[in-house]
Structure 1
């Protein structure tokens, strides 16, 4: 019932805002509006920006160092793909598509870590919209028959379970074993290594190896490098810059139809992933606040977006690689509306979509523990 009310509210908001929605044609001509025009308290919004600048992610700006320190508890963890030194705090806030406020260097290209997962989910949506995948409830083994999904455990796995990160896939990909990726904080990693696997679809486990299995599987379905699929179907139509790059591990080369193609990653905790600037992230969020429609052209179906934002059974705060601010789950921002969903990445990278207030918020290199307070400040500024 709650989910039905949510979709009714967002659809009503979409209809009401359709006439006033703005779509930037280029970064050079992106229109701005004042706090007053956006219905935001100016003094409180100044506090929001000051808060973002004052609470920079504490990790090293040399992201190679930050990654190795952040994941030092993982057995055998190493850098497998490219990294890049980052800039300082940056962000943008959009209202009805127009810029209310921007801070920092919004044109600087930086790693964005697990925000990449929401781009990967979108590539899966493209495959579904094109009929390359008949249903996300199909088992992946019916599409990827090279042994990646062989065996009693892996043959059960569906596309939706990969998208919700509850697949419990077992194996090794590009030299990384699933059991060695993001082990439990407590207990002996050996216990997890030999533990009985969960039934697919029953337990969410944040695990980059399994996310990368999804990327590999989508490469087999699209038969094109996923950055090319994303560029042609999403990034070019929304007017993104030419500066973003989606990278894979150094050894992640596959031969598809006789051509060498790189299989990309869904995150960057061993390097690689999406390298992108703040403005391009904001455009991506603007596409989703408009239910996949960009200036009258439907780039990804509303039906897929609705399913992507449906809470999964094991975790009510997670859909298809988007986080949901659902009060029924443990990852809920108090004092912030439940109609908010977001992409989140290591180091404090966020694309936050508030459909109720028609806000898209991008914040980068914000200390992750401070994002709830950051969003509470924005909520308090709404007039």
Structure 2
């Protein structure tokens, strides 16, 4: 190894590192990988149960007229993942190149796109009302007119309305935590002032995506590919797809707005290896092979705890609070998607783990075993 940070070449040209050389016990590392492989999500490979119910909606207790799937859904692969140490592949399992649905990890990609908008000067102040730059009725009334970019990024906007046939009410009383009780999800509740209440709400995240589309005035997947994914050598196999009814007109062109997950189908279809490159870029402060693709200041802002939800930053999860993994450092951060998708970044150890289809309730044990494999 050299003193210079390692960055993988394009494609599948990853350097590997021997566990002993990286300070890991091979048998304990193998046990951690075996744990991930043995605990694949119970979701069906095609995402639909035999009775026709969409697996995510079953988990979230979502029923009724608003629960329709609007975007494409593709059969998933099996357990897969990668562990990087100092950027090199320490371990991998399954088909890491398969572009599977990744659900809410797409939110963390939206946070990076917001950072590009800030770096480009398209957003001057995160505390500015979004409606000052996004035309139309979405932010026109007195309540929604107070919603800022920061609110949308921290999921505290309390925006009210309907977007692509989905009202904000659909995720009222929604909880995101291991074994969370979502028995009241979808029940209408009184709204708070924008910025005064945290709630994980996919309609409002999709609103952020549409607002960014209005700023960039071109498809967000194109911006991501040009500014982030191509420079880091990602594959051409990933895609980011919207809903059948999420086409809008921007600058006289018909463009599809993309969602921040696969809650109602669509979203990002991507492989573990591309997630690993993305995670490595974040861990390296937005720099790749001497080129700054995203400002370090934005990454610091993304990973700063919000006042109302200390384990949440700008659409990234932080290893803090009552649900923190006690075996891992508080500085660890992660992108998380339903069904068991995760990009875990341990900056202190220069370690990144990408898991596919390992349920979130099992992920802490995998990370515990991974950390326990270090220190020989």
- Report the TM-score when normalising by structure 2: 0.93
Would you say 1:363 and 2:352 are equivalent positions? Answer: no
**Equivalent position to 1:198, from 170, 192, 195:** 192
**Partner residue, 1:373:** 365
- For 2:39, the equivalent position in structure 1 comes to 55
CA offsets 1:270-310 (integer angstroms, 9 cap, x no match): 10111001100000000001010001100000001000000
CA shift, 1:142, in A, is 0.6
Residues 74 and 181 in structure 1, CA contact (< 8 A), matched pair in contact too: no
Structure 1 residues 119 and 197 mapped into 2: Cα distance closer, same or farther (>3 Å)? same
User: Which residue of the other structure, out of 120, 129, 134, is the alignment partner of 2:124?
Assistant: 134
Pairing partner for 1:247 from 231, 241, 244: 241
**Offset of residue 68 of structure 1:** 4.1
Alpha-carbon distance in structure 2 between the residues aligned to 1:189 and 1:295: 45
* 1:19, distance to aligned residue in structure 2 (A): 2.8
- Aligned match of 1:281 in 261, 275, 282? 275
Displacement of 1:187 after TM fit?
Answer: 6.8
Match of residue 343 from structure 1: 335
Secondary structure of the 1:152 match is: coil
The corresponding residue for 1:211 is 205
Give the aligned partner of residue 330 of structure 1: 322
Report matched runs for 1:63-74 at 5 Å: 63-64=47-48, 65-74=54-63
Q: Distance in 1 between matches of 2:247 and 2:270?
A: 22
Q: CA deviation at 1:186?
A: 6.2
In structure 2, C-alpha distance between the alignment counterparts of 1:149 and 1:203, rounded to whole Å: 18
The change in CA–CA distance for 1:98 and 1:186 in structure 2 (over 3 A counts) is: closer
The 5 Å alignment of 1:26-105 reads: 26-64=10-48, 65-76=54-65, 77-105=67-95
Distance 1:325 1:288 in 2: 16
Contact 1:91-1:363 within 8 A present in 2 as well: yes
- Is 1:202–1:313's contact at 8 Å kept on the other side of the alignment? no
Q: Offset of 1:58 from its aligned partner? A: 1.3
**Is 1:147 aligned to 2:115, yes or no?**
no
Equivalent pair of 2:61/2:185 in contact (CA under 8 Å)? no
The answer as to whether partners of 1:171 and 1:177 remain within 8 angstroms in 2 is: yes
The answer to whether the 8 A contact 1:211-1:265 is kept is: yes
More helix by share: 1
Please say if residues 253 and 261 of structure 1, whose CA atoms lie closer than 8 Å, have aligned partners that are also in contact: yes
Within 2, Cα distance between the matches of 1:197 and 1:181?
12
Q: CA deviation at 1:71?
A: 3.7
The Cα RMSD (Å) is 1.6
CA distance, structure 1, for counterparts of residue 314 and residue 62 of structure 2:
27
> For the residues of structure 2 that align with 1:186 and 1:360, how far apart are their CA atoms?
31
Count of matched residue positions in the alignment of Structure 1 and Structure 2? 363
Give the equivalent residue in structure 2 for 1:8.
Answer: none
SS at match of 1:113: coil
Q: Contact 1:281–1:362 at 8 Å: present in 2 too?
A: yes
In structure 2, the CA distance between the partners of 1:27 and 1:18, relative to structure 1 (3 Å rule), is: same
Aligned to 2:178: none
The within-5 A match list for 1:223-238 is 223-238=217-232
Distance 1:187 1:106, change over 3 A: closer
Shift of 1:367: 1.9
Note if contact 1:74-1:183 (Cα within 8 Å) is conserved in structure 2.
no
Where do residues 313-324 of structure 1 align in structure 2 (5 Å cutoff)?
Answer: 313-324=307-318
- Name the stretch that deviates more: 60-69 or 305-314: 60-69
Q: CA deviation at 1:73?
A: 2.8
What SS does structure 2 have at the residue aligned with 1:102? strand
- Tell me if the contact between 1:68 and 1:78 (Cα under 8 Å) persists in the aligned partners: no
Bigger shift: residues 112-121 or 60-69: 60-69
